[in-house]
Chain A
Amino acid sequence: MSSIARPPDPCLVAIILIVRSRTGPRLVFHYPPNPLSENRLKSTTKGGRRISRTRARRGSKNTDSSSSDESGLSSDDEEEDREREKESHVGGSSVLSGRRASNFGLDEHLSVSVSTAAHEPHRPGSLGSGRGSSLRKRGGAGSDLEEDAGTASDRPEDGPGRSRPPWESLLGVPGSVWEKLLSPSRSWHKRRFEIGINDLALIGWPVFVREDGTWRKQRRKKKKKPRADWEGGELGHNEHGEDGHGDERFVTSPDLGASVASIAESLTSPTGSKRDSASGKSGKMGDGGPLDPEDKDHMTMFNVVFVVDPPLLEYSMRVKEIYENIIKKFAKALKWEQARNDYVWKESQHILQVRRRARENKTSTHNLYSELISQSSLARAMYTVYSSISASKIASISLSPDVSISLQIPPLTSTPYVSGPADKSYPGLWLTTSDSATPVDDPGADGNNTPHQVLAKHFALLLLDSEAAIIKDVEASGGALAPALAHYIRCSKPTKSFAQISASSGIPLSHIQMLSSHLVYWRRARAIPPIHQRDTYIVSPNCDLSKLEVATIAYQAAFPTLPSLPKMLSTLSGTPRPYSNFIPSKDHKEAYFNILAWLLRGGWVTQLRTFARIKVTPEIKMAVEMALRKEEVDRYLAKGSSNSIPVDEDDSDDEDDDANSSSSSSLASHDSGDETPMPGRLDPHTQLRMSHKFLDRSTSLRLSSFILSPHRASPLESRWLDEIVARFPDHPNTDQDELKNSPDNDLQTVHKKYWPVFLKYFNGYDAVEKIPVRENLKRKLVWQVLMRLGLVTGPLGSIELDAREQVLVSFRHW
């Protein structure tokens, strides 16, 4: 629900297509027709910022309307007129600029030109460091040309005598200026082309025709290995016609492409041959198109430029996001199609033709655009990209009947941070640390922190929509993956890990991981630790209570006979208890799991997990210290007595080295542990640091400490750990009957057996909830051992605790 699309702010303002041919660059198409004007307001939900920006724009329109009219002109005569007109302007503005040089006038001037906008001038250091309006006249007096870029370009439409139709200019600047600005030199071929105008960034990925007049490197076709060509193709996605994966959702990102292809192939054998013939066909067309010998004008470059207005402080992040995920992929797809059948050039000519006709017929902008979008697949594609991406949705576009791609900026799916009053927050976002790779994670599958990676096998799949709805979409798509996906979705349960599903359904684990990461990437599912009734769930500190009312109604529809959403949240609000405590009876189990899945999906609850560290008490340290000293003394004595025997000396020397290194490293670890802390953070307390420097060993021995990474313990820490284990009670207590059911009813064997297994989880970063799943142990057994070790999360039952065993300190969070 709420957390599905909590994506980054795309900041998309417009998309422009520029092509260059022998006759020069042409601005072929841009969408929306009037960027940053009123129509933008409707399409966006981000109230405050956009509104203020639009207001600023309106304000400047009012004050500068006369000059904005002029921006529409560009015939030579009129240009001269305008220049003369400008001369008069200069007088006024030069006064201003003179004043401004003496450091006064800037803000004053701004407040004039943007008078109606309640908008602080964009100056660094001021409180209003939000974004200013984009093409706003910066300081106004900088140029004598008072073109106001922000003014909506529909103005000239009002005047009857205009030679240029409204769509010929963009952001208040005539198309010819854009044409020149946005058709760069060849040095930008297939590189990021980024320019900025005030607060707007214009980013593209220009593609130039090759020297030989083709759009693609001619490859030697190896018929026997068609996929090599396909895989290595610059177009990374698997949907260029050959596969017939029509639907948007089942078109994967480039990174997934290969694996999808291979799995699709293994699942549906005919695909291979189909692709074979298809790629042959595409190759032929690629050869045919550009080499057309007719002497018509040829396109030499095209550049799809995305106009974005990122906030200043997020500039590079936003630009990178949209460039990597959208711009590059979209341009690559166009390049592929251009190489295949001259797509971009044909479409461009078509669009230009329609525009020419529209100009003759004085068609309105609105009609022109609806005509273009219905007639040209390229215009439609740009329209779709704009409207979907600016709404943070997945853009599914089809360039031709058999070529379609899906683009998205992958949304944020979870966060480990709960936001304070001073932080930017994304309420409703899933609050967890469970998606980050952690040291204990299997080396093969290192977490799922990026969707392209293989999901760890101990995660489960939580569908973000109803199973039926997703299966319907899958089947409607009819792609090669559809049957496999549908089958998997039917088998999948949020209570079962991938490994378990694989075992029960017979689908190979690697396929499951691939299919689920596919669903996760395309926002249909989320990978979570499997839901379990013994696990504890709390109301997420990050849940979005402003959605409570709406969600309550949706919840009511889903679970009409069960406790309401507020009731459920209120129940989960108290002291954390295992979820099973809230399930009234066995018959309700299924329903309550469904509720839990629903709550997790909406980010209403999150799992409270337990993390543990081993505490070393001074007692242990002292005992180890004593033992070390004794060894040292013994060695010294042994050395003294065996001086005459060379063979022994060698041995003892070796020993000595070992011992020395261990004891010296123990010293070092003392020092580093107790002395490094100060720099930076505690600078003022230099005095104290001084006194701390003289901290002797015995002092640190009197303080307890943690073993931070037990699986990489230093020699001294290992000694401590040994000492800890040695102190575990030898004789099983009276509570032996507690463990009667388990195979190991001898306490000592329990410890002996599981301590080394569990040890690596006690690093403070791996939830102990993972242990039963990963080590494939009985949950009850694991928790009994953990409780004995000092991990207490709930009622103890009758287990009697022994202080010697209480070596863990536990933290509970998400």
Chain B
Amino acid sequence: MIKAIFYSKFDTQEGPKVVHQVPDGAIVPSPTAPAQSLYLTFSDVSFFVIPRQELCGNLLQVCTNGYRILGYPICMKSARYDRNEFIFNFCIVLAEEDDFSTYKSVVQKIADLMHGLEEQNGFLSRDFSRSGEGKVHSLCEMLMEDLNNYCECMVPIDELNTLNIKLFPIYPSPPQVKAWHVPLFTLRYQAFMDENWDLTMQRIVPHINGVNSVRIISILADTDFSLTCRAIRHLLYYGCLFLLDIFSFAAIYAPTAQISATIGCDEAMQLECARYVNLRFAPHLPIGPSSSFPAPLAPSGSSTNGSGTGPLSSSLTDHAPSITRDDSRFDAEEIWPLLGPAEDTDDPTDNNNNSTTPAPSSSSDTSTSNNQTNALHKPAIVDGVGLVELYASLKQGQSVKQWYAQHSRALANIDIRRFITFGVIKGFLYRVHKYACATGHTAPAPRTAGSPFMPTPTHTATSTATPVATGSSSRVTTGTTTPYTVSSVGDEGPLPGRESSWERPGSVFSGSRNGVGAGNFEEYEVEEVDDRVLERYLDGTHCFDQICTELELSERELTARLKRYPGEVLILHR
């Protein structure tokens, strides 16, 4: 919020002098507004408002008396001026603690414009109007009013010149986008995209669905990989996207410290989660839930949503998830996912209770059974606490698959991928990445000799991967429970001959890695990744997602390959 704007110049008789000020009497005493108390003592800051020539043409700021003054002094030399020079400065006064970053460009732009106007027709030097009157004063007045009220202004100055200013918020620069990141829209891109958009952007946007990795997006959209990354970074900058990890059933997720403070106590978030994961509402447009990352960690998303000045903010706020269509007939209770039929769960639960690790499942089962007993006339549901218990039962060292097996009944009507994604987006789940580290020692256990039959070049376009049939991803467990995941994989599956070398390289990366139990693995010709290629990834700094994406392997294949690596390879989970 601008507190004051003033125009100051160097007067050959009086020295530095405030010519116009808005509000009146804010900077120097004014006979017309005697009641106005001064914001600051002008003589304290005049050294900076009208500085030595050497400092003119720089953006200067000074703090005094709780105010921050931004100015851009201009020194013009011409024979037409007294002493052959004219020094002026349009200053903006802000509260000292306010964010001033957006105003830096404003000050600079005003200075540039005035410089030009003065050069054209002596706009400033011929302005002999009294303080508080005249064109320059009304310009200051409009500027302050419009910027404070509308964050933008358009002030016509004469038939040739107009002062156009808009305040843009400044966001932190977005992170580097990697091939194995999975972008997910936070809003409906259809709402704001038009045909004037960048061509790469237009091509990639339909493939951003929270499932496809950046690499796959670039393949599907047939766009250059680096351009794809740049386009995605651009969307990230404006908070239109989240970056996720590649979801697979072999992946491990665990709660972060935020779980107690977010879904663990926020019933609204539990509802939001239920709505997002419940298969009943399975939408066809993947739209991320709103962000509630802790403030320091969520720079883009939340801030964009909050500020009204973001160029995209209008479209950010009014996106409507597709479920609204049949909201009207929802009973409030129907929001909660239903439990699966009781028979399903008996086996795993019983097994668990007998085995040594009955931990999470037993507790959730008690809750569900309680639900059942209490609401006999209603179908048993997974309520908010049930969801939290499910999240809490994710842990280090346990893959999604194992977790699913223990909770299949509660998860019967829950989209697993969305369930995980929701937690990652909200910041209360994190992906436990795997890293491989070759120690240089010989491997402890005897292995198959496994010499690479066909060493392949790495960075050429040819795929070294073994494409796995998409069919393998629809395993028994996932087929019925996560139609969304499966269907999206299936949809993207057939790539009309874009990649010639191998049938469907695209499916290798995200989709078919669900297929841990790929049965028809051997049907395909296996090309081994060269040891030397692999070695570069085994220093413990490359996560499995990266290795798999770059070497075009499935995680299962990678694990198998690592077993054949000459020398000990340790797997770290982090």
Contacts and interface: CB of A to CB of B under 8 A. Distances in A.
Interface of A: 71, 83, 86-87, 90, 94, 97-98, 100-103, 106, 123-125, 127-130, 135, 137-145, 147, 149, 173-174, 176-177, 180-181, 184-185, 187-188, 192-198, 312-313, 315-316, 416-424, 433, 538-541, 543, 545-546, 548-549, 564, 566-567, 569-570, 573-576, 608, 611, 613, 615, 617-619, 622, 673-674, 676-678, 681-685, 687-688, 691-692, 694-695, 699, 702-706, 708, 764-765, 790, 792-796, 801, 803, 806, 808-814
B170 interface: yes
B358 A421 contact: no
Contacts of A137: 57-58
A101 B260 contact: no
B74 A142 contact: yes
B181 A421 contact: yes
B571 A573 contact: yes
Contacts, number: 380
A623 to B, nearest CB: 10
Given A145-B75, A421-B178, A546 B541 contact: yes
A97 B297 contact: no
Given A138-B57, A764-B265, 11 more contacts: A124-B102, A138-B108, A144-B77, A417-B297, A573-B572, A617-B366, A618-B371, A683-B317, A688-B330, A704-B385, A792-B359
Contact of B268 (A192, A418, A543, A682): A682
A617 B372 CA distance: 11
Interface in B169-224: 169-175, 178, 181
Given A124-B105, A545-B435, A576 B324 contact: no
A813 B256 CA distance: 6
A94 B119 contact: yes
B170 A618 contact: no
B404 interface: no
A145 B63 contact: no
Contacts of A422: 174-175, 236, 242-243, 300
A687 B324 contact: yes
Contacts of B97: 316
Contact of A803 (B170, B333, B366): B366
Nearest to A620: B370
- Max chain B CB contacts within 10 Å: which of A538, A566, A575, A576? A566
Interface in B326-373: 327-328, 330-333, 335-336, 356-360, 362-363, 366-367, 369-371, 373
Contacts of A615: 367, 385, 389
6 contacts: A141-B115, A315-B100, A416-B257, A417-B427, A618-B370, A684-B321
A541 B116 CA distance: 56
Given A197-B60, A420-B430, A685 B257 contact: no
Nearest to B336: A703
A574 B374 CA distance: 39
B3 interface: no
Given A541-B432, A545-B572, A570-B572, A809 B363 contact: yes
B451 interface: no
B477 interface: no
Contacts of B432: 541
Q: Top 7 nearest A-B pairs by Cβ distance? A: A143-B57, A677-B268, A101-B116, A575-B397, A142-B57, A764-B260, A196-B61
Contact of B59 (A138, A540, A570): A138
- Max chain A CB contacts within 10 Å: which of B58, B99, B397, B570? B58
B60 A418 contact: no
Contacts of A83: 77
Interface string B35-53: 0000001011001100111
B131 interface: no
Contacts of A699: 332-333
Contacts of A101: 112-113, 115-117, 161
B461 interface: no
B260 A765 contact: yes
A181 B50 CA distance: 11
B339 to A, nearest CB: 13
Contact of B255 (A124, A197, A795, A813): A813
Contacts of B275: 685, 688
Given A420-B243, A538-B396, A618-B374, A198 B59 contact: yes
B58 A792 contact: no
Given A127-B233, A141-B112, A705-B267, A813 B44 contact: no
Contacts of A103: 164
Contacts of B53: 143, 145
A318 to B, nearest CB: 13
B225 interface: no
A196 B94 CA distance: 14
A688 B335 contact: yes
Contact of B330 (A567, A613, A691, A810): A691
